[in-house]
């Protein structure tokens, strides 16, 4: 059994025990929360409508908070001596899926 869940503007394919990174959420490590399911595949059955997904619960646990890789940004204008360097690191949360309940 696996599910497609919505997390931070993206969709992830998850199963019980999977660990993945998503945008930073305001929860402490060890806290549990629910993810919004978009699709559930359970053997041969497939649930995709809002009425079918109303009973589906995907629970996850926060493992740790971390930062993504550094992205280097360089601006340069030719013949003017203009150079500008910046960097950016995305705030992420590592999450472990603890359960998928199909409801009825």
Domain count, the chain: 1
**Domain span including residue 97:** 2-101
pLDDT digit string, tens, across residues 37-93? 999 998 888 999 999 999 999 999 999 999 999 999 999 999 999 999 999 999 999
Whole-number pLDDT of residue 104? 66
Q: In sequence order, what are the residues at sequence separation of 6 or more whose Cβ sits closer than 8 angstroms to the Cβ of residue 48? A: 38, 39, 40
Spatial CA neighbour of 93 closest among 34, 22, 30, 32: 22
User: Considering the entire predicted model, what is its pTM?
Assistant: 0.82
First to last CA, the chain: 15
Spatial CA neighbour of 39 closest among 1, 75, 86, 82: 1
**Comparing 4-8, 27-31, 72-76, which segment has the lowest mean pLDDT?**
4-8
Q: What number is the average pLDDT over the span 20-25?
A: 96
Cα–Cα distance, 68 to 53 (Å, whole number): 32
């Amino acid at each position: 059994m696996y599910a497609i869940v919505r997390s931070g503007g993206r969709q992830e394919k998850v199963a019980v025990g999977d660990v993945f990174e998503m945008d930073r959420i305001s929860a402490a490590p060890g806290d549990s929360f629910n993810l919004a399911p978009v699709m559930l595949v359970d053997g041969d059955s497939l649930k995709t409508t809002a009425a079918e997904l109303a009973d589906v619960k995907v629970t996850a646990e926060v493992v740790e908070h971390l930062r993504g890789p550094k992205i280097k940004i360089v601006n340069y204008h030719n013949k003017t001596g203009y150079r500008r360097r910046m960097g950016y690191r995305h705030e992420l949360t590592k999450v472990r899926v603890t359960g998928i309940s199909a409801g009825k």
